[in-house]
Amino acid sequence: MTEKQADTNDKVQNGHPGLEKEIQTDFQKEMSYGDYLHLDKILSSQHRLSDHHDEMLFIIIHQASELWMKLILHELNAAIQCILRNDLEPSFKMLSRVSRIQQQLIQSWSVLTTMTPADYMQFRHKLGHSSGFQSYQNRLIEFALGQKNAHTLAVYRHQFELYEQLNKALHEPSIYDAAVSALHAHGLPIDETVLNRDFSQNYEPNPSVQEAWLTVYRNTDQYWDLYELAEKLVDIGNQQQLWRFHHMTTVERIIGHKKGTGGSSGVTYLKRVVDQQFFPDLLSIRTLL
């Protein structure tokens, strides 16, 4: 057998591609793919409380969603800091990424809808009072997007460090507060009461902010970076509303109008949440343009 034939045999075995000689196969002293990602921990964290087949789907959907939420927070918090420094351009990539992640989260509801009401009833009682309402990362995302509610912190009182993290986020400027400060930094007049407001409270629409955004939208060439920022925010707000809507319709499809495991009114509560808008100034100016 020639050297060329031997090399060909290494690459193709029984019609299948073989391993190239340069591919690393010894990981006794090297970090592998699984080591880097800690797959032993991730893939051993799905513990069903029942024997029902679909409980695995239920667990993985929610665990994967929490991982995506972690990335959303990573991007949102970095974007907020960029905007507060009036360094807008780096934030655009981060906010575009948030929007793409939101699309992944929206799509996950369609996977969960393959579970029927009959399936879910086989293990729902095993959940006790645990509920997606208690997702602290989702709460942090809402705070970062400007929807603040101090009453929700009561759910986390049993976890001191987590409670303090949420309380800190409650009092920090949201991404919309950062955007308003960017308007001010670009010389657009903003009421002092808005710039120095209590960030732990929900933002209330303000005429000076609306007028500033109108100036941006009527002079896009002059304020292109602010214009792009505004549209990135509108995109994220819309995606978050879509995620909420698909959440509500998925819950309605699977449990109807039953009370939530966490004690909420279920679909009735979720419908109220869907009606809550993000960045109301940016929506209202569309009528005024």
Whole-angstrom distance, CA of residue 87 vs CA of residue 91: 8
58 labeled binding residue = yes
CB 141 within 8 A of CB 76: yes
Give the tokens for residue 50.
């029942």
Confirm whether residue 106 is marked as ligand binding. no
d(CA 13, CA 136): 51
Q: In Å, how far from its chain's centre is CA 143?
A: 12
DSSP for 75-106 reads HHHHHHHHHHTT--HHHHHHHHHHHHHHHHHH
Structure tokens at 247: 């959440």
Q: Is 60 annotated as a binding residue?
A: yes
261 is in an annotated binding site: yes
Residue 16 counted as an annotated binding residue? no
Three-state secondary-structure class, residue 280: helix
> What is the helix (H) or strand (E) element at residue 240, kind and residue range?
helix 224-255
For residues 286 and 289, what is the distance between their CA atoms, to the nearest angstrom? 5
To the question of whether residue 59 is assigned a binding role by annotation, the answer is yes
In the numeric block, the tokens 């780096």 are attached to 90
Determine if residue 120 is labeled as part of a ligand binding site.
yes
Confirm whether residue 269 is marked as ligand binding: no
Q: How many CB atoms within 10 Å of residue 22?
A: 5
Task: Answer yes or no: is 175 a known binding residue.
Answer: no
Binding-site residues from annotation for heme: 247
- Tell me the binding residues: 58-62, 120, 124, 247, 261
Residues flagged as binding site for substrate: 58-62, 120, 124, 261
